[in-house]
């Protein structure tokens, strides 16, 4: 039988790392399981300005996360990189199962976060990585001096569009309404940016091209008018970045007794408790009103203190 940790945490984004830190500091045995790089969505964010106390000039997602990881290590948090494909949530021992084996805990914190929602247009899948992207930090440099389109009107779309203006010749935000959802402070910066343009009341119907993205059909949702956008002849291509919100990473929990809402997010109470005793959820994966690094970290801290309480009550 594998070692049974006090707390097993799935996901090493801000929620999982904060949970790990609190568990380590509370001298609980704790394991974080992460399939890729630490940080989750924040690892692909260029600039962070709203994490309280964050005063490092030009702080990026990766630099903040690197310090969180280091802090976990300092307090003895065990780490493993593995892809979990099955779970056992009910009962006294919670299990994360992979091709390599299983990881067991008296408690489990689900901190698997969320991922980019697809734009939902024709040709999107085919041109993923060939002009269609969901990560400006990862792909902006491919579009140095090219034209780029950003789909969405929230904080992510507008912030990432501004980031893309550092690389692209021209960036156009395509938004389905005539008003941005992004915070006013973000909008103010955006409207002052001379490289940033807006296509209002518009959605993307189809993307295409000959192997590389070079044409797109957009629709004005008010008039129904379709417009074909073709890449500048010299460029031969352009980029389309989708930032229309996120979907939760909860596929492996489906049918395992864990309550999920209609979009797949995990409902919890204020103490991060799910419907299954000993199973907690923290960060973007749970139903909540504000998905930020600070709220994810706070969730992680609360979840761990509740794990401790749960274990004490069980023993
Ligand atoms: P979001 O706030 O949900 O915004 C999604 C945007 O995509 C909205 O403008 C929405 O249009 C549009 N959209 C949704 N579905 C669409 C579709 N099918 N076709 C076309 N457009 C569609 O998502 P987000 O910007 O990724 O932000 C997620 C969370 O992270 C938010 O809580 C946000 O505040 C937070 N965040 C914060 C910061 C920051 O504080 N600096 C940075 C990034 C993200 P409508 O407006 O018409 O609904």
- What would the two tokens of residue 224 be? 């129904």
Q: Is 243 in the pocket of ligand 1 (CB under 6 A)?
A: yes
Q: Distance between CA 85 and CA 81 in Å, rounded?
A: 13
Nearest CA to ligand 1 atom 9: 153
Pairing verdict, β 114-116 and 246-248:
antiparallel
Cα 158 to ligand 1 centroid, rounded to whole Å = 9
Q: For residue 33, list its beta bridge partners.
A: 10, 80
pLDDT (0 to 100) of residue 298: 98
235 and 260, same domain (yes or no)? no
In three-state secondary structure terms, 74 is helix
220 and 252, same domain (yes or no)? no
250 and 186, same domain (yes or no)? no
**DSSP labels, 269-315:** -TT-B-SSTTEEE-GGGB--S---HHHHHHHHHHHHHHHHHHHHHH-
- The domain tally of the chain equals 2
* Domain of residue 89, residue span: 4-116+246-314
- Among residues 86, 138, 232, 269, the one annotated as catalytic is 138
Residue 196 has pLDDT above 80, yes or no: yes
Cα 41 to ligand 1 centroid, rounded to whole Å = 14
pLDDT (0 to 100) of residue 1: 62
Q: Is 203 in the pocket of ligand 1 (CB under 6 A)?
A: yes
130 and 106, same domain (yes or no)? no
Short-list 53, 72, 31, CA closest to 293: 53
The predicted model gives 148-171 an average pLDDT of 96
For ligand 1, pick from 15, 59, 244 the residue to mutate: most ligand atoms within 8 Å of CB: 244
76-115 burial, b if ≥16 CB within 10 A, otherwise e?
ebbbeebebeebebeeebbbbbeeeebbbbbbbbbbbbbe
pLDDT band at 106 (very low <50, low <70, confident <90, very high): very high
37 and 61, same domain (yes or no)? yes
Phi-psi region of 160 (alpha: psi -120 to 50; beta: other; left: phi over 0): alpha
238 and 251, same domain (yes or no)? no
pTM for the full predicted model: 0.84
237 and 130, same domain (yes or no)? yes
103 and 252, same domain (yes or no)? yes
Active site residue 121: no
pLDDT (0 to 100) of residue 47: 75
- Indicate the residue among 197, 213, 242 that finishes a domain: 242
pLDDT (0 to 100) of residue 174: 98
Closest ligand 1 atom to 203 CA:
20
Residue 201 has pLDDT above 90, yes or no: yes
CA distances from 186 to 60, 154, 160, 191 (A): 17, 10, 11, 9
pLDDT tens digit sequence for 9-66: 999 999 999 999 999 999 999 999 999 999 888 887 777 778 888 767 778 889 999 9
pLDDT tens digit sequence for 111-131: 999 999 999 999 999 999 899
Q: Is 118 in the pocket of ligand 1 (CB under 6 A)?
A: no
112 and 144, same domain (yes or no)? no
- What would the two tokens of residue 20 be? 């790990």
Q: For residue 286, list its beta bridge partners.
A: 266
38-70 burial, b if ≥16 CB within 10 A, otherwise e?
bbbbbbbbbebeebeeeeeeebbbbebbeebbe
216 and 276, same domain (yes or no)? no
If you ran DSSP here, which 8-state letter would residue 252 be given? G
pLDDT (0 to 100) of residue 93: 97
- What rounded mean pLDDT belongs to the chain? 95
222 and 280, same domain (yes or no)? no
For ligand 1, pick from 43, 116, 152 the residue to mutate: most ligand atoms within 8 Å of CB: 152
139 and 101, same domain (yes or no)? no
- Indicate the residue among 216, 242, 268 that finishes a domain: 242
Q: Distance between CA 182 and CA 127 in Å, rounded?
A: 27
Q: 150: how many CB neighbours lie within 10 A of its CB?
A: 32
pLDDT (0 to 100) of residue 212: 95
Short-list 312, 310, 283, CA closest to 19: 283
Active site residue 138: yes
pLDDT (0 to 100) of residue 49: 77
Q: For residue 228, list its beta bridge partners.
A: 217
- Indicate the residue among 211, 242, 273 that finishes a domain: 242
Q: Distance between CA 81 and CA 281 in Å, rounded?
A: 20
Residue 184 has pLDDT above 80, yes or no: yes
Cα 119 to ligand 1 centroid, rounded to whole Å = 12
If you ran DSSP here, which 8-state letter would residue 212 be given? S
Q: Give the CATH number of the domain where residue 218 resides.
A: 3.50.50.60
- Among residues 6, 46, 139, 284, the one annotated as catalytic is 139
In three-state secondary structure terms, 180 is coil
pLDDT (0 to 100) of residue 60: 85
pLDDT band at 180 (very low <50, low <70, confident <90, very high): very high
């Amino acid at each position: 039988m594998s070692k049974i940790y006090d707390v097993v945490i799935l996901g090493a984004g801000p929620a999982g790392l904060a949970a790990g830190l609190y568990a380590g500091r509370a001298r609980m045995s704790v394991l974080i399981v992460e399939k890729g790089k630490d940080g989750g969505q924040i690892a692909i964010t260029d600039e962070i300005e709203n994490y309280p106390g964050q005063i490092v000039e030009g702080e990026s997602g990766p630099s903040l996360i690197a310090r969180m990881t280091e802090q976990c290590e300092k307090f003895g948090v065990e780490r493993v990189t593995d892809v979990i494909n099955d779970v056992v949530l009910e009962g006294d021992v919670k299990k994360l199962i992979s091709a390599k084996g299983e990881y067991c805990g008296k408690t489990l914190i689900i901190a698997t976060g969320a991922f980019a929602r697809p734009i939902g247009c024709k040709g999107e899948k085919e041109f993923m990585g060939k002009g269609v992207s969901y990560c400006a930090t990862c792909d902006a440099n491919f579009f140095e001096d090219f034209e780029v389109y950003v789909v969405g009107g929230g904080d992510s779309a507008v912030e990432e569009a501004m980031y893309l203006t550092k690389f692209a010749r021209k960036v156009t935000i395509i938004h389905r309404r005539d008003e941005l959802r992004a915070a006013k402070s973000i909008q103010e910066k955006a409207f002052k940016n001379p490289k940033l343009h807006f296509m209002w009341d518009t959605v993307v119907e189809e993307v295409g091209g000959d192997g590389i993205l070079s044409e797109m059909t957009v629709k004005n949702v008010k008039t129904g008018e379709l417009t074909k956008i073709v890449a500048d002849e010299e460029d031969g291509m352009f980029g389309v970045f989708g930032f229309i919100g996120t979907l939760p990473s909860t596929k492996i929990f489906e049918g395992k007794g864990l309550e999920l809402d209609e979009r797949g997010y995990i409902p919890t109470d204020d103490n991060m408790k799910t419907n299954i005793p000993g199973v907690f959820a923290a960060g973007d994966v749970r139903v909540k009103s504000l998905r930020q690094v600070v709220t994810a970290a706070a969730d992680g801290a609360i979840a761990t203190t509740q794990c401790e309480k749960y274990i004490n009550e069980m023993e």
